[in-house]
Structure 1
Amino acid sequence: MTTTGFTIAAQIDAMHQQATDRTPADARDAFHDEQQQLDAAGLPAGLAAVGSVLPDGELLDVHGEPTTLTKARAGRPAVVVFYRGAWCPYCNIALRAYQEQVQPALTARGIALVAISPQTPDGSLTMQQTKQLTFTVLSDPGNQIASRLGILTAPTERARQAQTALGLDLTAVNADHTPALPMPTVAIIDSVGTIRWLDVHPNYATRTEPADILAALTVLD
């Protein structure tokens, strides 16, 4: 299925409708309560400001080779996407939409698209291959960049219990063996790494829409 013409929000709504009968009620309640708490908390207090330099870190590519965000974008401006992992259905929807609806415009303008998560390189490779992503996917062990950017979070205890019951152990899929996760975030940075636009979603059930990213590219003009 292609995502052209479909917003991420519409695709997430459709996923929720399809998943209602497959997800145990206690897990649905746990995730719903968690999302309500995230909405109530809003944006984190320590969020990096637009105009500051996006932090970098010691990252790994999909083959486990050391790299950095600076090296990956090779002097180009970039759209940097922070996502939770290949296990996250919301992330799968968003990255597929960015591949189909955003990547062509970025390529035409010489802008890199880079996705970063705390999962192991194997998880990054799985995401890249199964979703047929042509852009760079990196692993950030320890959430170095997310922490410095101010978007680091973690599931509630009840949500973690629900994840475990569904077969997900974040300490096994994250490279640093912790449950820490980045808030889904899209940053547009210029050629020297300065943040020109930042969209943070504390509630992981919502994401930056492709149309909003494309409209925001004017900050690089």
Structure 2
Amino acid sequence: MTTSTQPIAEQVAALNAVVAERLPADVLADFGEEQAALDAAGVPSGAARPGAAMPDGDLLDLHGAPTTLAAARGDAPSVVVLYRGAWCPFCNIALRTYQADLVPALADRGVRLIAVSPQRPDGSLTAQQSNELTFTVLSDPGNQLAGGLGVLTRGTDAVREAQARIGLDVAAGNADGTPELPMPTTVLVDADGTIRWIDVHPNYTTRTEPQRIIHAIDSLLD
């Protein structure tokens, strides 16, 4: 697969270098401790595995209209990406890269791409517009999908205080007003709604590279 952008990991490394110069040292320290703890804990033991049914819930489209993941998937195999929100720079890097390097490859294979976050629909619209996304973007009030997949997480008090010091209020942006977030997760779902492959990233600074997603599709879908 030929890509038109840098790997996500390289883009994140460049972002981290900029962030290190701009954020206060105490905020950086709190975020660094959180990321180290997430790395140490790893993927939750209860996370969904291939062969399980993909969970669903009462979702919202960009304009706040009710929908479901099943409706968005239709009768096509799909790649479902759980991301944190439009406020997350690591998420925006991943979404832009998927738009550039994954959307064309998925179209060739008849696979849909759907991104889901717990933020309010206006946040989903911001993510869609600011990153010029052509694929489906949905809101999941209450993290129904992340909860069903076993990849739900919550920042520590220290992290939420650090976020507040830089003007970030995750709970205010989430559709249900809580601070819970999904671990960045990519799920390959077949046309019958069965999980064929899942890649969970406890550390939110990392993401699934497009090449890995295409390899999973070519290896696992008929």
Q: TM-score range by the shorter chain?
A: over 0.9
Shift of 1:19: 1.7
Q: How far 1:49 sits from its partner (Å)?
A: 1.6
Query: Match for residue 173 of structure 1?
Result: 173
Query: Following TM superposition, by how much is the alpha carbon of 1:84 offset from its aligned partner in structure 2, in angstroms?
Result: 0.2
Within the alignment, does 1:78 sit opposite 2:96 as a pair? no
Gaps of at least 5 residues in structure 1 are none
User: In the TM superposition, what are the counterparts of 1:109-128 in structure 2 within 5 Å?
Assistant: 109-128=109-128
Q: TM-score, normalised by structure 1?
A: 0.97
Deviation at 1:5, TM superposition (A): 4.0
Displacement of 1:23 in angstroms is 0.6
Query: What's 1:213 paired with?
Result: 213
Who is 2:157 aligned against?
157
Of residues 32-41 and 102-111 in structure 1, the stretch that sits farther from structure 2 once superposed is 102-111
Matched ranges for 1:50-199 at <5 A = 50-199=50-199
Equivalent residues of 2:5, 2:100 under 8 A apart? no
Instruction: Give how far 1:170 is off.
Output: 1.1
Identity over aligned residues, as a percent?
Answer: 58
Q: Which runs of 5+ in 2 are unaligned?
A: none
Q: Which amino acid aligns with 2:159?
A: A
| Partners of 1:107 and 1:121 in 2: CA distance | 25
Per-residue CA distance 1:14-73 (angstroms, 9 max, x = gap) = 001112211111110000000000011111011112111110000000000000011011
TM-score (norm 2): 0.97
How many residue pairs get aligned? The number is: 219
Q: Distance in 1 between the 2:193 and 2:163 partners?
A: 36
Alpha-carbon distance between aligned partners in 1 of 2:21 and 2:183, rounded to the nearest angstrom: 27
Partner of 2:15: 15
Paired with 1:153 and 1:195, the residues of 2 have a C-alpha distance of 21
